[in-house]
Structure 1
Amino acid sequence: MYENILVPTDGSEGANMAAEHALGIAGTYGATVHVLYVVDVRMSPISTDMDREEVVQLLEQSGGTPTTPVLQRAEGTDVPATEAIRLGVPHETIHEYVDEEDINLVVMGTHGRTGLERTLLGSTTERVVRTVDTPVMTVPLSGD
């Protein structure tokens, strides 16, 4: 049923809760978890001219990438996990990744980063739910 499960992460508590659920589902179905961090080009000082390696290096110098905690959790399981870091508009980039990597399920938190940024941009999760043709599981902060 599920071979490739995508967990988009922004490093928030909501994304981490979603990752826990994704790892559990992947363990049950023998799926691979894809951990995706999208550097939002609209909000980031990172140049779109930078290549992926330059972006990763810059992120690691500033404290690491939001994918690291999810990958570390996966290491303690039998679940294979792969990392992807992309530049773009989050919901559009997630949609592209779903199509490119033949994703069967997207697992996302209902709450990511909040505040003014969310108010201005709307919910990435909501936009993904409305635009992808793949099932999307949303996980509330309570994790239930």
Structure 2
Amino acid sequence: MYDRILFPTDGSPGAEAALDQTIELASLCDATVHVLYVADSENEASHLVMSDDDTGFSGMVKPDDVERESGMTEKGRGGMQRLEAAGEELVEAAAAAFADREIETVTEVRRGNPYRTILDYAEEADADLIVMPTHGRRGIDRFLLGSVTEKVVRTAEIPVLTVRLGDDEQA
């Protein structure tokens, strides 16, 4: 039924839930999974990354605002390069999860507007299906942040399977 499944990931808990569904679907269909990470080059808020160092600090930080001597950033690397490096780690981790189930994968990290890049990649890869998480945002958060998944669902020319986190997973 599906030969090529596109799995865009951002490393969120929603993406983890969508990963599990993608594994099951790809196994059933003997499909190749294209794992894509998009470093959002158009949205300043997307340049926030998780950081954790030996001090125990953990949270969202803007890479260019972090002191380079703190050990949380690599000297000489800008925010986009760090996002791309984090993206490489995410797609490789997802590829390893697919490999554990003997599912063929293709990995890609790109810069751009996430929803447009996802749609462009789906067309280039001749994907049959896109599997994406919903983050369950409501109200002002959804309005201000927008929804990449919603934009993909509304504009994709191929089916999009959305996976929503359960209430217990959102906590």
When normalised by structure 2's length, the TM-score is 0.68
Pair 1:125 & 2:160 matched: no
What's the CA shift for 1:60?
7.4
What's the CA shift for 1:62?
6.0
Q: Alignment partner of 2:37: what SS?
A: strand
Larger mean Cα displacement after TM superposition, 129-138 or 56-65 = 56-65
What's the CA shift for 1:16?
1.1
Answer yes or no: is the 8 Å Cα contact 2:84–2:110 preserved in 1.
Answer: no
CA displacement, residues 42-82 of structure 1 (integer Å, 9 cap, x when unaligned): 23389xxxxxxx99974576696322331121121111111
In the superposition, relative to structure 1, how do residues 55 and 102 fare at CA in structure 2: closer, same or farther (>3 Å)? farther
What's the CA shift for 1:120?
2.3
Answer yes or no: is the 8 Å Cα contact 2:33–2:106 preserved in 1.
Answer: yes
1:93 maps to which of 92, 113, 117: 117
Pair 1:73 & 2:73 matched: no
Residue 3 of structure 2: aligned partner: 3
Alpha-carbon distance between aligned partners in 2 of 1:134 and 1:66, rounded to the nearest angstrom: 25
When normalised by structure 1's length, the TM-score is 0.80
Alpha-carbon distance between aligned partners in 2 of 1:117 and 1:63, rounded to the nearest angstrom: 24
Structure 1: which amino acid aligns with 2:5? I
Alpha-carbon distance between aligned partners in 2 of 1:86 and 1:67, rounded to the nearest angstrom: 11
Alpha-carbon distance between aligned partners in 2 of 1:64 and 1:97, rounded to the nearest angstrom: 16
Gaps of 5+ in 2: 48-61, 64-77
Alpha-carbon distance between aligned partners in 2 of 1:41 and 1:140, rounded to the nearest angstrom: 26
Structure 2: which amino acid aligns with 1:36? L
How many pairs are equivalent? Answer: 136
Higher relative contact order (CA 8 A, sep 6+): 1
Q: Alignment partner of 1:92: what SS?
A: helix
Alpha-carbon distance between aligned partners in 2 of 1:17 and 1:99, rounded to the nearest angstrom: 24
- For the aligned residue pairs, the C-alpha RMSD in angstroms reads 3.1
